[in-house]
Amino acid sequence: MNSSKHTLILILLLFLLALGIQPAEATVNLQCPCPPGTPVSVDTGNIECTVGERSVACKSLAAGDGFTNMADATVIDPQTGQGRRLIYIFSFDDLTGLPEDQVMDAGMLGANFSAPTIDMTEGQSFYLNVTNVGMQMRPDLFDPHTVHFHGYPNAASVFDGEPMASISVNMGSTLTYYYRAPGPGTYLYHCHVEATEHMQMGMLGNLYVRPAQDGTPIMYQGKTYTKFTYNDGDGSTGYDRDFPIQIVAVDPDFHDADLYIQPLPFAAMKDTYPLLNGRGYPDTINPAVFNNNASAAFPEIPNTDKPSGKVNSIITANQGERILIRLSSLSTVDFYTLRILGIPMKVVGKDAKILRSSTGENLYYDTTSITLGGGESADIILDTANIPPGTYPMYVTNLEGLNNNQEDFGGMMTEIVIN
């Protein structure tokens, strides 16, 4: 072989090598049939449009890791001087409306707890883009993630999220879940990959479907409603304001073991931090958004300033209004009994079904408390017509549920403020 051939081969090899050392571009391919630039709805958080006859809603979530803050003070943040117990989490981040080339950067260390709320209307074509952005604190893990729409009656097995029977989303890829939103009600969602670990780690969120009857004015007990819990036909599930409340809990020992690559205490999980929507009282009534501030525990990690805790549990209404509480539980350990003092709770739905007999009789019931286990939900209406203005507590009666770890008085409690 002569030297010019050698040079040619060398140049070719260098060229191939150069191709190989290009930065790896993760393929983020978001699918949404709405025209580019369609704004994100402030009501639902979805990109919404009409395509032909179809009402379309699109959402995009990143799945990865991050940190969240507990309500007690055991770690002092060197930057803010604030005391916070920082908990390592796996969860989702809402990136709806963000261009494809920004999804990976925005999603890394951006996990939220609770996971972003999913809000859709019956009959809508719902496109949920889920991008796995990887675990920044656990680069040794290459876990896939899924979204399991818990309780959906028509779950197509391909989109069900149960990883042995359906697709899961590998690191660096995006899957678009598609659902024609089924019957109305309060559902819940979680990642179903290694469910004990990924659910304990925080991949849990509120999910509900509004009824097709919404927008049709129906008179009930002298008042006209346009928002309903179910397609009741008689307005009896009508309400003025709705609030999703999810019962969850966190075991900090489990989360620390995951962060520090230790054996996970599956059988020893405890509800050390009992939470509503990912927060313990008094954070449940704090309107502030908490940051994913990893630098509080790991000064070598730059503070991302990405929001982590966005969902609070503040319930406010004006006297005379009807409040709908979309209560669900994704507690991985205990059953909890939730009580409201001073305002009767009317249960109109259970596990995304209206409480009604086969002959069409309403089977709603009044109560002062309701008990839910993980995976259950209930639709509760509070009629404030005869309720004097004031602050009413909503809390669990399980006494161990009313604390933030070693700090007494906190946990699963929030306030209902009637003006």
Q: Which is nearer to Cu ion, 200 or 284 (CB)?
A: 200
Three-state secondary structure readout of 227-293: CECCCCCCCCCECCEEEEEEEEEECHHHHHHHHCCCCCCHHHCCCCEEEECCECECHHHCCCCEECC
Question: Six-digit token pair at 81?
Answer: 């001087």
- Specify the stretch interacting with Cu ion by CB under 5 A; choose among 140-148, 207-215, 341-349, 366-374: 140-148
Beta carbon nearer to Cu ion, 90 or 152: 90
C-beta separation of 138 from 197 below 8 A? no
Candidate segments 10-18, 134-142, 144-152, 209-217, binder of Cu ion by CB under 5 A: 144-152
Cα-to-chain-centroid distance, residue 266: 23
Q: Could you give the 3-state DSSP secondary structure of residue 187?
A: strand
Cβ burial 114-123 (10 Å sphere, 16+ → b, else e): bbbbbbbbbb
Quick check: 322 and 240 in contact, CB under 8 A? Answer: yes
Residue closer to Cu ion by CB (options 206, 404) is 206
Query: CB of residue 115 vs Cu ion: minimum separation in angstroms?
Result: 10
For residue 330, count other CB atoms closer than 10 A to its CB.
25
Nearest residue (CB) to Cu ion, 155 versus 355: 155
| Residue 198 binds Cu ion (CB under 5 A) | yes
Q: How many residues of this chain interact with Cu ion, rule: CB under 5 A?
A: 5
For residues 174 and 197, what is the distance between their CA atoms, to the nearest angstrom? Answer: 22
Q: Which stretch binds Cu ion (CB under 5 A): 2-10, 190-198, 293-301, 357-365?
A: 190-198
147 touches Cu ion by CB under 5 A: no
DSSP 8-state code for residue 38? P
> Considering beta carbons, is residue 108 or 193 the nearer one to Cu ion?
193
Q: For Cu ion, give the closer residue by CB, 90 or 126.
A: 90
CB 120 to Cu ion: min, Å: 22
Q: Which of 59, 145, 326, 356 forms a contact with Cu ion (CB under 5 A)?
A: 145
Question: Quick one: 65 or 119, whose CB is closer to Cu ion?
Answer: 65
Other beta carbons within 10 angstroms of residue 285's beta carbon come to 18
Query: Considering only 14-22, 128-136, 149-157, 192-200, which stretch makes contact with Cu ion by CB under 5 A?
Result: 192-200
> What is the number of other CB atoms lying within 10 angstroms of the CB of residue 50?
9
Q: Are strands 241-250 and 223-225 parallel, antiparallel or unpaired?
A: unpaired
CB-based closest residue to Cu ion? 191
Per-residue contact track with Cu ion, 264 to 293, x per CB under 5 A? ------------------------------
Q: How far is CA 109 from the centre of its chain?
A: 16
Count CB-CB contacts under 10 A for residue 350: 18
Which window, 138-146, 286-294, 295-303, 356-364, contacts Cu ion (CB under 5 A)? Answer: 138-146
Closer residue to Cu ion (CB): 145 or 350: 145
Confirm or reject binding of residue 193 to Cu ion (CB under 5 A). yes
Minimum Å gap between C-beta 169 and Cu ion is 9
Dist CA 281 CA 109 (whole Å) = 25
Q: Does 148 bind Cu ion (CB under 5 A)?
A: no
Give yes or no for a contact between 311 and 202, defined as CB atoms under 8 angstroms apart: no
Residue type, 177: Y
Q: Which stretch binds Cu ion (CB under 5 A): 123-131, 160-168, 203-211, 266-274?
A: 203-211
Residue 191 lies near Cu ion (rule: CB under 5 A): yes
Per CB under 5 A, residues contacting Cu ion are 145, 191, 193, 198, 203
